[in-house]
Structure formats: structure tokens, C-alpha cells
Amino acid sequence: MVTDDAAAEEPLGDADDADREEGNADRDEDDEEDGGVELTPEQAESLRRTFAIIRQGLTFDPPAVKIPEAFLTGLVDVARIVETQQKMLATSIEPIIIAHANIREQMAKAISSDAVRSIVLARAEIGRTVEQLTRNIDFAGIAAKVSQSFAEEQLALLQNLGPALEAMRASFYPPNLREISKLKIEAVNQVVMAEGIALYGLPRSSTAEALVQAKNARARREILGRRWKMISADCRAAVLSCTSAAVAPYVPFAVAALDALDSGHSAGAQALTGSLIDAVVTGYFGRDRYKYTPNKKTPTNDAYNEFTIREFIAFAPMWQAYQQFYVSNGDKVPSTFSRNATAHTVSPRQFSRRNAVQGLMLACSLLYRLDEEASYV
């Protein structure tokens, strides 16, 4: 028995069959175009419905856009203003163009005039005249004379400059060293720094030159032994010339040490000289004395590089005079003058006439330098 529901479903089935046949036909055509791709009935139906939705989405009415009338009117006004400005510009430029044409025409006429031709002829004549004059001028002779004159002037300048440079070089040294010919600071450094023999302001030039030119330290020590009286006199003259208040307290003690030396009491002269040197150095340098005397914090004499040449010559002998000496450490007693050995030991190796002379040279040289500085103030 066929129910009503079954009868009702048959037409639907027939319609579905028809749709499927139509879809199959369409699919067959698509398959032919797409290279034979086959779709199931369900895929074909889904694709058909998707295309239908897409077509509905593509069908729309564009919105109406309305341009305000005031905007259009404004564009028209702007166009009219631009056109008017262009016309005014063309009108204002036209006279300039006409004037420019007239000037070009007048210049063309002027260039072809007789006046211009006369100028050209005159310039040509001047050129010929100059050429003729230059042929008659001996440029080589003039150049030779100029060169000779320049050379003579340079030679005269150098001849005058030589003595000036020599005088300048000599001014770097104290007066007793200025007369020494071809004196080099390296030679002076060997005497004052390396060997501790003072040369600032004393002794006299002949003795100072002998010390500088001596071949070695031993030869210089021999000069101190042979010329001790002359050196003592030079030290006395240097000290007695000091007049400043800064040096005045030390002068009597320097004279007393010189008197002891001249009287044959070289040990007493040396002992007093050692104390005098320490008093002068401490009074002048204060705590900075340790920058210029050997100690644990000052193992080198680099601090002397800050001095001028004259200062260096005056103060450099301090470096050797203050070499460290400790009896408690078993240090060997030095044979050259040592302020520390003079103060802290008694030994014939240290106390000698040569060392007394060397110590007095340093003491009196320092006083001479300090008095000189006081006169600058």
C-alpha cells in the first residue's frame, strides 16, 4: 500500500531527477571546457547556489553623488582669475620685449659705426707699440740685477743676524759661561748634573771652560785640587756681590766657610758648607725640595726638565749633592762631595779639600742665583 506521504514525495523526486539531469548536462559542458573535471550531484548543486549568491551580491545600485553648486561656481571663478592674471602678465611684458628688440638693433648699429672701428684700430696700434718696447727691454739683465740686490740684502741680514743669534744664545748662560766659545748644553749638563760641580756665576770663565772641556770626571777633580785658591776667590766675589734681603742671612756663613778653607781648615769649611746648603735649599724650595733631591718618591731627575736653562745650570748640582746615603745600611762613603755623608759621617774619604771646594761652589752658586732672582722682582 502506498501512503500519502510516499505519493507526495514522487513528484519531488521527479523534479529532482530533472534538475539533476540538467545539472549533469551543464556539468558535461563544463567538463569539456575544463578538461573533463567531474563533480558529484551534491558538489554541482552547492556550486550553483554559491554562484547565485555571488550574482546577488554583485548587483547593487551605486550611491548618488551630488556636487554642491557653490563648489562648481568657485571653480569657475578661479579659472576666470587665472585667465585675467595671464592677460595682465602678457600686457606688462610686451613693452619689455619691444625695448629689448630696440636695444639689440641700436647695439648692432653702434658696433658697425666708425667710432668702434677707431677704438679697434687704436688698440691694435697700442699693441704694436708695447711689442716694440718690450723688444728693447733687457729683462734678463733686470732679473740679474734684482737677484743680485736681493742676495746682497739677504747676506747683510744674515751677517747682522749672526751676532744677534749668538748674543741670544749667550744670554741663556750665566755671565761666566758666555765667553766660552761653542759651548754646548750637553757638556754643561755633564758637569753640573752628572758630577755635581756648580758652574752658575762661578768660577771665572777660564776655570769654567777648563772644567767643561776636561776629558773626564777625574780630570775635573784635579782642576778643583790645583785651582782651589782661585775658585775660593771667585766664590767670595760672587757672595759679596749679593745685596738682596733674601740672601743676606746666609752670606756671613758662606764667608766664614771660605775663611776656614783659606786658613787650611777644609774639614770645618766643609761641615759648615753642608749645613749652609741644606738651609738654603729648604728655605727656597720648602717641601718641593723633595722633587729635586733623590728619595723613594723621586727616583729620577725628571723634575729638572721644568727649569729654564739658567735655572737648570744653577740647581742641577743638588741632585748629586743629595744622593742617598745611610750609614745604617752600610752604604759606602762617597769620595765626591755629599751633603748627606758630610752631615752623617766623618771619614777622610768624604772630608777633603777638593770636596770642601766643591761644596762651597754649590753653596755660593745657589746664593748668587737667588740674589739674581730677587733683583728681578
pLDDT of residue 157: 62
Q: Specify whether the CB–CB gap between 322 and 341 falls below 8 A.
A: no
Residues of the chain with pLDDT under 50: 1-36, 60, 62, 65, 72
The percent of residues above 70 in pLDDT, for the chain, comes to 56
**For 143-147, which contacts have Cβ atoms below 8 Å and span 24 or more sequence positions?**
none
Residue spans of the domains in the chain: they are 142-171, 182-376
pLDDT attached to residue 3: 42
